[in-house]
């Protein structure tokens, strides 16, 4: 799972809930497979993933934008077309409307998600170590700071929060989107011609 922001504070977590399938179909937890490599999994591995964009630029001499575009396409395909396999998760930056894993409500944060029928669901119930919780707090703090900066830039008072977003589509091609904030509700109806 990649938790948090798409920056050097992101937390690539190889130890919470991941597994490999053996040839006979047995799920082996990554924490078991990496038991003798905990220092690597909580050190070099994290650093390498956090800095992979910079490494791509240095190796290719080109932007890593194509890598990000491919990751976006893969994510959208999983979310909207194929879904995740039973027990599989995909890391997705989603609007945190419920305070998953103790992360501040109202920010977009990468969580382990399952996708079914064009909808995503944050996988809940993973047991996180104190090390993992600390890493989540670091990337959360960066995102909260970025959100405050963005709100200031557009003149939005920090207290105004989006609570829900829902979109429904009809067979006629119309869609209805609603957003609710502390002070108002907006509804947008669109139609394909």
Question: Six-digit token pair at 189?
Answer: 């109806």
Given 6, 104, 137, 161, the catalytic residue: 6
CB 168 within 8 A of CB 175: yes
CB 89 within 8 A of CB 113: yes
Q: Is residue 33 annotated as a catalytic residue, yes or no?
A: no
CB 93 within 8 A of CB 108: yes
Distant-in-sequence, close-in-space partners of 158: CB < 8 Å, separation ≥ 6: 148, 151, 152
Distant-in-sequence, close-in-space partners of 160: CB < 8 Å, separation ≥ 6: 151, 181, 182, 183
Task: Taking the CA atoms of 20, 22, 26 and 31 in sequence, report the sign of the dihedral they define.
Answer: negative
DSSP strands (E only) in 9-75: 11-12, 19-21, 27-29
Active site positions, annotated: 6
């Amino acid at each position: 799972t990649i938790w948090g922001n798409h920056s050097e504070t992101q937390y690539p977590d190889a130890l919470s809930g991941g597994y490999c399938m053996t040839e006979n179909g047995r799920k082996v937890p990554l924490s078991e497979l990496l038991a003798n490599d905990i220092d690597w999994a909580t050190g070099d591995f994290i650093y390498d993933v956090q800095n992979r964009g910079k490494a791509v630029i240095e190796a290719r001499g080109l932007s890593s934008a194509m890598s990000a575009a491919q990751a976006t396409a893969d994510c959208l395909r999983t979310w909207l077309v194929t879904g995740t396999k039973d027990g599989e998760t995909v890391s997705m930056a989603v609007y945190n409307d419920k305070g998953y894993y103790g992360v501040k409500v109202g920010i977009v944060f990468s969580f382990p998600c399952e996708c079914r029928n064009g909808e995503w669901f944050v996988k809940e119930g993973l047991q996180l170590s104190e090390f993992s919780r600390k890493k989540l707090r670091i990337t959360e703090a960066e995102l909260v700071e970025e959100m405050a900066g963005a709100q200031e830039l557009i003149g939005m008072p920090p207290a105004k929060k989006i609570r829900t977003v829902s979109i429904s589509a009809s067979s006629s091609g119309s869609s209805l989107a609603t957003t609710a904030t502390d002070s108002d509700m907006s509804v947008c109806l669109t139609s394909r011609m």
